Structure 1
Amino acid sequence: MDNDKPEECKVCFDNFDEALRRPRSLPCGHTFCTVCIVDMIKNSQFTCPNCRADHNTLAVTDVTQLPINYGMESLIRRLKGVSFKPAQTKAPTKPPQDGPKGISKKFRSLLQEQKNNISSLITACDEKLSQLGKYGKKVKHLKTEHNLLEDRLNGLLEQNKAAKELVEQEETSVEDMSTKGEEGKQQLQAVLECLETVNSAQEVVMAIDDADQRSVVTEDWIQKCQEQFPNVNTVHTSVKVQESIGLALEMIPTEAAATAAPLHLGDSASTIMEKFDEITTNKLTVDDLGRMTEGVKRQVEAGRVYAVHQDQHGLRSSRITTQYGRLYLHTLQSQPAPLHAHTIQFTDFVGALDCSSTLVFLDLGWAGSTRGRVHIRLSPDTPRGRQFTLLCTGQRGHTYANTNFLKVCNKGREGECVVGGDYQYNDGKGGAPLLPDLQGDYRVSGSAGDVGCCYGGDTRGVQFSISTRYRSSWLIEVFGKVESGLEVVKAAVNHSNIREVTVVDCGVVLTI
């Protein structure tokens, strides 16, 4: 090989350039022009022409999978720069011509600008082709996964078909056996009539003989029924196949959810693979919410961000929403997050027993609509405050959501307050505490907006009251204060039937 001309490809002997014949390196380290490498790939002869190293096992399908030798390009540019320098001699030299004769400096500048632009576009094309090559591999992988799923689904269908055939055979056997039983029963009835109408000894002997024969046949039929039914293999196979297919169908989302196009977090400056990773990776972190980029904000506003929790109550999820610059973590619901939701572990927000946030909310509604949101600032150092948070988040399995208000005390007078919180029976007789000891250092007050306890016993320890009017002579132990939305509570008190007022939803305000 001629190593005196590093600027030329050792296959086609054309000079490298920054357009079609960009230098690219093979895994063995030798460099050839892009055109020649494309020919190698097309001809399935991906062997280094220099050292004969076999690269066919790499399964390279696109030239953009091979790196550009930027060092070689830099060397060539330097060599070109040296070759155009005038020789240093004593004789005066003629200044080099600045481009072809007859072309003005302005046009030469325009030509150079266009050359630079085209070179930049070629580089951008290379980068995008490289991204497309990587993305193409991901798409092929997705197709492979769909083929595997299709095979598994076809396997389930074959199992269902086989089980169905077994059931149909069993159905035929039952019908045949039932037909024989009906015939035998009719014959027994005929024998019984004969036994009742015999008039001679000979008839008696014949009737008894016939009865014995019918009895043997019937007893044999009864024994066969006992032995043959139910067919253990048929019933077991049918039940198990139905269970398997049923579980698979439960995981299939509704048509709308399955075909909905998810919003990606990337913007126009993101690469193809960055967008792909953001679409296929549905997990967010608390830090992502804290930074609240435009992409994350769009997801939250579109209702696509959920907290998920797995415990003894099963897989549950809670919505994360935003309103007036605040982030809300809603109470846990006994259902998984939607298919295209971005998820965060619920425990990333909430600890095992209490929540770091002391601001909770109740959404109140009546007459078929939600009327407003009530924000309550709790005392986190009190057991009742922590318990109230647990019932707003639902992490212990119980929640204030879908409970109704129970009664209004002192309506229209000083000390007016509303009572609610019976998560058990929703009639005022329930509401067992979630924490073993609710004793604590509570302040005593009767101010409007105070949230306090109603009962100290074990049976109704989670019921609460919200004061709407002050009364000095009627004081309660307070563990929270309405921070905003007291007007919603007052409107609820004035509703014609307080039992129609419902806590439509509840949760905590996130502070991240």
Structure 2
Amino acid sequence: MDNDKPEECKVCFNNYDEELRRPRTLLCGHTFCSQCIEDTIKNAQLTCPSCRAEHSATDATQFPISYAMEAVIKKLRSIQVASVGTVSAKCGQDRTRDIRKKLQSLAQEHKSSISNLISECEEALSQLSKYQGQVRDWKIQHHQLQDRLYDLLEQNKAAVELLEQEDTSVLTMTTEGEAGKKQLQTMLETLNTVNTAQEVFTTIDEADHYNVEVEDWMKKCQELFPDVNTVYTSVKVQETIKKALDTITTETGATAATVLQGDSTTTIMEKVKIIIGESPPETLTIDHLRGMSESIKRLVEAGLVFGVQQDQDDLRYSRITLQDGQLYLHVLQHQPLPTHAHTIQVSEVLEALDHSSTLVFLDLAWPGSLARHRSLARAGSLAGSNRLHIQLSGNTTLGRQFVLLCTGQHSGSSYLNTKLLEVENKGRPAECVYGGDYQYNNGKGGAPLLSHQDDQQYQKSVSAGAVGSPWSPGSHRSAQFYISTRDLTGSRHWCRVFGKVVKGLDVVRAAVNHSDITEVTVVDCGVVLTL
């Protein structure tokens, strides 16, 4: 069926053209139009709609144009032109409808582009409004600081006036002291030259007079200096102003300017936080995820937050995503981190969960499931991928093992890329589907990850959506599981039940109705973070 219309994209079903919908070939070999490739790229990754292969990409132009496909299309068009004379009126009508369909598709694409641009414009205006509010707050703070600086200047001015007065007083006292000293030196020289008793007595009397004056002067010096108020005020004002000046740096913004140069992905307010040193650290904590500030949320939405686990020399990462307001920790894999990625220890995230009732997820895919998903999304009945949520009972060995296989914590073993194995009682009561052979993917494996424990706390259920294992915890296939898709009747019940599908049972039922159940694959898995 895929080769019936080689000129048509297998995602949007529109014909390839030489502009928006030029055919481009992915590394896995499948070809789609440029527009659909662009639309499929999320968080710097693209999943092939046909084979689900993962490709790193940020733009459709990273994939080569399929010139061979364009040559085939041109050949087909030349054949169509050569046979124009034999085309019936009905064919002409069909072509008119095709042209109308293409025009409608083109108009719809432009409408979508304009709507996206309007949303981006509104976001930019919102950022500008927030930034304007921040700028005005800073202006108020600067005026307040300016008032305080004026107070400091006034205090400094008063201190200088006190010091001027003190300096004048010291100068006056110094002049008086120098005069007294000079008089005493004169008396000393006179006593060295006196010859008569009268001269001696006269000089001694005069010297005693100067002695008294100098002693009074020295006493006055002790009483007047230092002036306590002048010294205290000067020292304290100097300390205050020096502290204020020491906080000023001449390199404000130098580092931030280098970091932000040419950065078009960071919002205005995120740039502000980087400049003032409030950007999130490269290594996050569970409190960052719990608080989910606007900056952390944007990092998650941009695909820049990853869980990390180090096992000896093995380093693996798990994506953390946000969808419909819900955080997801995806399975650990060997994958390169994007530039400016932020990490958090996977163990820290999982320790914060309620282990008595863990919520995990599985994403299923099979040939044709992408078209089904697109149809449901248009109808508004499916917001995410073909995802099912399973509530597990953490007080059982099989439940704890299921969590490990959803996260890949245990030596990298996980349900990722495993296929469903078989359907039992298809179309009848007790219908269920089996899967989970992470070892061989053929139903012969699924060895236990945990040591066998004699659990007696498994539930019994007769309802669709029950998740359990047909094998006991100690079995060499205990990692395999079943999901019931129809209720049981009579006195029977599902055994060894350790979980329940709380969302996405319709996904499992759709997979069961696929012609070959072994084509249904777990393309992603992980834990829903209820922090």
- Structure 2 length normalisation: TM-score? 0.48
- Structure 1 length normalisation: TM-score? 0.49
